[in-house]
Amino acid sequence: MKLLFIVNSINGSGGLERVLSVRTDLLSRKHGINIAILSLEKEEEPHFFSFNSAITFFKRDETSLNFFGKKKFIKNTIDTFKPTIITVCDDGLKGLFFKLIYNISLPIIYERHASKKIYLKSTSRKDVLVYKLKSFLSDLGGRSFDKVVVLTERNAEEWALKNVKVIPNPISFEVQTQSTLETKVVMAVGGHSYTKGFDRLLRSWKVVVEKYPDWNLHIYGRIKHQNIINLCSKLGLENQVTFFTPITKIEEAYLKSSIFALSSRSEGFGMVLIEAMSCGVPCVAFDCPSGPNEIINNNQNGLLIKDGDEDAFAKALLKLIGNLKLRRGLGKNARRDSQKYSSNKIINEWMDLYKNI
């Protein structure tokens, strides 16, 4: 079997890159599958995550800048590598129309790592109409694929398709220990984007530090702009918030944290939740579309908060900060429940799909 993954970029520090580094390694190393990854964007930086040395990478050059150049680049790659199955990993509309554009007879999987809600920028009439149009076009393109793979059941419900299958992301690392939950650190992970909702988190954190000024919020992620840092300064939180750029050994940070906070407005899945849970760290998360409520069992392995209720989010953090016994109880259950996302279990689901497509 030969698998070709087509992505926009593979050198970043996001969830897609992390997931593909883990999955392709297991497929290559444990199942002996020949794998290639094609990047549509010009990449000059080295890979942030490590990839198995057996994987072949096809990278774009200057001659494939426009539509026709990309089309030729993809065709040449397919002719050279001769894949058995192609997987398209592109949350944009161009990815959804891949099979219609290229008219390839091979089995093709469309792999979606984001909720359709990313199309909804606001509740204005104009943005709602744009969202409905993009959603309709997504379904139109999705029907052309042999299978559309999404990460959660709620994701699947967004698609008016019969060829949808749910396969969650796997935990990206294995740890033999767990956090003591005794450090005065709350952790969050994600790029500084509107979707990740760090503005909501900072406003909640402002309430928390009024009672617990000795606790610190650690935010790991790519700093795309200064908006979040400026808000932090405006709220007077410079001494209670620390910003970190992405790190490859993120598990080391989880193990030094006592609480994990997810403030996103939208998530395709919420892989950071299962990563934190695997380290025994209890999570507080907004019930945003589409992953948290399928991962967190409220008051059992974490705390799930009504989406957008920043006061309730602050109260949940205060509740956990003030109760080590509760943190440990939720953390113990979280670590147990995270095992349903083990890499071996998830990779077997992918193998079943590849064999039966």
pLDDT, averaged across the chain? 93
Q: What angle do CA 240, 241, 243 make, to 5 degrees?
A: 155
Spatial contact of 296 and 283, defined as CB atoms under 8 Å apart? yes
pLDDT above 90 (res 84)? yes
SS3 315: helix
* Cβ count near 242 (within 10 Å): 13
pLDDT above 90 (res 92)? no
- Percentage of the chain exceeding pLDDT 70: 98
Tokens 């909501």 belong to residue: 200
pLDDT above 70 (res 98)? yes
* Cβ count near 92 (within 10 Å): 12
What's residue 272's pLDDT?
A: 96
In tens, the pLDDT along 102-124 reads 888 999 999 998 887 777 767 78
Environment class of residue 136 by beta-carbon count within 10 Å: exposed (0-12), middle (13-18) or buried (19+)? exposed
Higher-confidence position of 315 and 268: 315
In tens, the pLDDT along 31-40 reads 999 999 999 8
Spatial contact of 96 and 142, defined as CB atoms under 8 Å apart? yes
Longest dimension (CA), the chain: 63
Two structure tokens written together for 329: 């109880």
Spatial contact of 338 and 270, defined as CB atoms under 8 Å apart? no
In tens, the pLDDT along 130-161 reads 888 988 999 999 999 999 999 999 899 999 99
Q: Detail the DSSP E strand segments found in the chain.
A: 2-7, 34-39, 56-59, 85-89, 108-111, 147-150, 164-166, 185-189, 216-220, 241-244, 259-262, 283-286, 302-305
What's residue 215's pLDDT?
A: 99
In tens, the pLDDT along 192-225 reads 998 899 999 999 999 999 999 999 999 999 988 8
pLDDT above 90 (res 231)? yes
pTM of this prediction exceeds 0.85? yes
Q: pLDDT category, 291, cuts 50, 70, 90? A: confident
pLDDT above 80 (res 11)? yes
Strand 147-150 to 108-111 pairing: parallel
Tokens 């680049």 belong to residue: 73
Q: Which domains does the chain possess? A: 2-170+342-356 (3.40.50.2000), 185-340 (3.40.50.2000)
SS3 66: coil
In tens, the pLDDT along 306-354 reads 999 999 999 999 999 999 999 999 999 999 999 999 999 999 999 999 9
In tens, the pLDDT along 274-285 reads 999 999 999 999
SS3 242: strand
Spatial contact of 300 and 336, defined as CB atoms under 8 Å apart? no
What's residue 266's pLDDT?
A: 87
Q: Where are the alpha helices (DSSP H) in 36-192?
A: 67-81, 93-96, 98-102, 125-142, 153-157
Sign of the dihedral through C-alpha 193, 282, 17, 87: negative
Tokens 């920028």 belong to residue: 121
pLDDT above 80 (res 64)? no
CA dihedral of 199, 202, 207, 213, whole degrees rounded to 10? -170
d(CA 289, CA 269): 9
pLDDT above 70 (res 18)? yes
What's residue 63's pLDDT?
A: 61
